[in-house]
Amino acid sequence: MNLLPKSKEEFSQQEYWNLFFKKRGNEAFEWYGEYPELSGYLHKYLKKQDDILITGCGNSTLGKDLYDMGCSKVTNIDISKVVIKQMLSQQDKDRPGLQYLQMDALQTTFANDQFSAVIDKGTLDALMPNNTDETIKNINKYISEIQRLLRLGGRYICISLLQEHILHKILDYFPSNGWMLRIVRCFEPEIKSIENGENSLPVFMIICTKFTALPRKILEICLGSNNKIDKCETCNDVISSITSIQRAAFICSSLRKSSIENDGEISLDLYEPGDQSNVKFSVHIVEIPFVAKNAPYACFIVPQGRETEWLFSTKAGRQNLAAMTNYNRLAIVSMHRGKVYGTLDEVKKELEDIVCNLAPKKLKSQKIAFLSLGATLGKRNIRYEGKSTFSGEYVIEDVEHDSGDIYRRLFYLNAQLVTQSEAKLKQIKSKGKKSKYIVDLFRLMCQHHMFMSIGAHLACAMKQNAKVTVLGLGGGGLCSFLHKLLPQAFITGVDIDPEMLKIATEWFGFKEDEKLSAKIQDGLEYICDLAKNGEKVDAILCDVDNKNSEIGMSCPPKEFLSPDILKAVSNSLTNQGLFVVNVVLRDKSLRPSVIKDLQNHFRSFVSYNTTEDLNEIFICANTGSDFTGNIKIAIEAINSFFRKNNVNEVAELSEYMDHLKIN
């Protein structure tokens, strides 16, 4: 039997409720939780001596339950004659202070200031299915009655799902008319719904306390399970906090009911209640194609400072992690800098509720497995914070892995999950001095830098005094590595931002000498100057990121692939010179135009897609000769260089050749 209305507007109609209660009979119907789930919240705001009015009581047992817990004056009203008759038939003489009256809550016959508490359990939601003029007129009558019936210091306690139009109405009226407002999230009804296999939406208790006037608006929220009360400055702050919880709950409900295997993953950010300005956790929920032998669900906590690694920062990496851990669904949680987290066990406890809500419905146990890379949360040590005119605020931090390895990283705060520069630190001991950590300049931390270096080696290995230009100095890691790999070559790093030279020199081991230098200049101007002056170089490496996030190409800025600049690049290369460019496309439809532009200015080129990221490296030549054979020689030479310098790293020849595209 379908007891739900055909349309939500019917909630406010007397005829609907009469029919509803006739169909339902004497079985109690509880909106938004029963008394055991709500009692802990209600009794914080009720006193035994309160004169209580419950509007729209239906056949809920709430009035009886409050009476039996010591509230001796409880009046219940409802618009439905049927339900009031039902409740009176169940009434006994042992509850003399418990009344049931058939009455319209919009127009009661009670005296002014008669009650010290008015409880509304779903009534406002039923009366306000929309915000049409007729509905608003009725709601204004209802609120006016509450204003009239409550004494000073009295409380209007409303239990609601707080749909957007209802939240706005509450905020528009009560704080502006001298009422103190507090909104509390009721977790127990949600948990009970989940346990019963039902859809769970956030249930809120709104407590409006009547005063004649307040010196300023008092807006409070208590939205976390820790019962911490936070003050909000504006109504918009309240709205933002409530809506973020509702959206997250919608995601959780969807995750319980359905698979996301086709989508691969969904993401959400977690804030501390009352603090919408800073994300505390980022969660990626990943689902791989179903494997019968796999466990259904677990949570993986990424150690601090490692969230930018391929395994955790890319969709492909996270899918790989889920497959490696043998779970069909995996919640991958990353932490953010500037937040206090405590121990690994404390973080698990903090995440426990939300992680359970992200589980599939078929999960038999509410005990969720927590995984990580070690027994700690990892260590993140901020070494320096600064500001660049071109890129904004940045931070340099050292991250220690459980293995003891330490990595130094540069981040711009407007893109905190993107590593701008990275280096591995190594410990050295000098005679008579304490050991210290320095940047290991013999290592490459980016996969795409490995393959850009192959291009530089192709162009310069057999030449004395070869010239290499690197557009995009960054932390100087690529320039410093090429200086070691090609000691006979002159390496010049070009960057528009003088702050980058300071960062590279002071924090990433970049040190200028007669064969390694930096030039602070716009890379586009630098290329034009080369062509204008007739200067020739053996390799131009372009590794410049795009600050415009609206364009589907993250690297390089589109101007670096414009016809005029590509022509200038081609004219600035020696006969056997190479142009090596790192291209990152978020919009794959842009690739054909990139190919066409390169074909228009170079006689031949090869490209390589990195396996870990979206980077595609193009190596372009003015000659039409096939240089793939020399690529093998370059790879072997770089691997020999690594072995000679005790670097546990290798460029896989077969992998490179498998992913090589010849144009």
For residue 119, what are its two tokens?
Answer: 């409880």
At residue 3 the predicted structure's pLDDT band, cuts being 50, 70 and 90, is: very low
- Answer whether 455's CB lies under 8 Å from 478's CB: no
Give the span between the Cα atoms of 639 and 656, in whole angstroms. Answer: 13
C-alpha span between 556 and 581 (Å, rounded): 8
Q: What is the mean pLDDT of residues 639-657?
A: 77
The number of helices, as runs of H, and strands, as runs of E, in the chain is 20, 28
Amino acid (1-letter code) at residue 108? T
Whether the pLDDT of residue 197 is over 80: the answer is no
What's the average model confidence in pLDDT over 230-256? 84
The pLDDT tens digits of the residues spanning 549-591 come to 567 788 899 999 999 999 999 999 999 899 999 998 878 888 9
**Lowest mean pLDDT across 398-407, 442-451, 487-496, 644-653:** 644-653
pLDDT value for 567: 96
What are the residues facing 539 on neighbouring strands?
468, 578
At how many degrees (to 10) do helices 477-485 and 628-644 cross?
Answer: 90
Structure tokens at 11: 């909630």
Average pLDDT of span 444-452: 88
Q: How far apart are the first and last CA of the chain?
A: 68
State the pLDDT at residue 249. 77
Q: Which of 648, 559, 654, 660 is nearest to 619 (CA)?
A: 660
Rounded to an integer, what distance in angstroms lies between the CA atom of residue 440 and that of residue 458? 24
Nearest to 251 by CA among 260, 238, 240, 239: 260
Displacement of CA 198 from its chain's centroid (Å):
27
CB atoms within 10 A of CB 433: 8
Beta bridge partners of 281: 270, 335
Say if residues 248 and 282 touch (Cβ distance below 8 Å). Answer: no
Ranges 291-295, 419-423, 645-649: which has the least confidence: 645-649
pLDDT for 139: 95
pTM of the model: 0.63
CA–CA gap between residue 119 and residue 62 (Å, rounded):
10
The residue type at 355: V
Give CA–CA dist 206/225, Å, rounded. 16
* Structure-model confidence comparison of residues 189 and 141, the more confident one: 141
For the cut 80, the answer to whether the pLDDT of residue 140 exceeds it is: yes
Residue-level pLDDT at 94: 80
Greater model confidence, 549 or 323: 323
pLDDT at 514 exceeding the cut of 60: yes
- For residues 124 and 146, the answer to whether their CB atoms sit within 8 Å is no
Categorize the per-residue pLDDT at 660 as very low, low, confident or very high, splitting at 50, 70 and 90: low
Question: Is residue 627 over pLDDT 50?
Answer: yes
Per-residue pLDDT tens over the stretch 212-222: 888 899 999 99
Mean pLDDT of the chain: 86
Comparing CA positions, the residue from 143, 207, 134 lying closest to residue 169 is 143
Tell me the per-residue pLDDT of 11-66, one tens digit each, with 9 for 90 and over: 455 565 466 546 555 554 456 778 888 999 999 999 999 999 999 998 889 999 99
Distance separating alpha carbons of residues 446 and 130, to the nearest angstrom: 55
- CA 492-495-500 angle, to 5 degrees, is 105
447-460 and 628-644 helices cross at what angle (nearest 10)? Answer: 110
Asked whether the beta carbons of 398 and 325 are under 8 A apart, the reply is: no
Instruction: Choose among 5, 31, 11: nearest CA to 193.
Output: 31
Q: Is the pLDDT of residue 7 over 50?
A: no
Q: Using alpha carbons only, what angle is made at residue 441 by residues 435 and 444, rounded to the nearest 5 degrees? A: 125
pLDDT tens-digit series, residues 268-295: 888 775 555 678 888 999 988 889 899 8
Domains of the chain: 8-249 (3.40.50.150), 258-371 (3.40.50), 447-662 (3.40.50.150)
Considering the chain, what percentage of its residues have pLDDT values greater than 70? 88
Structure tokens at 578: 């190479």
More confident residue, 28 or 121: 121
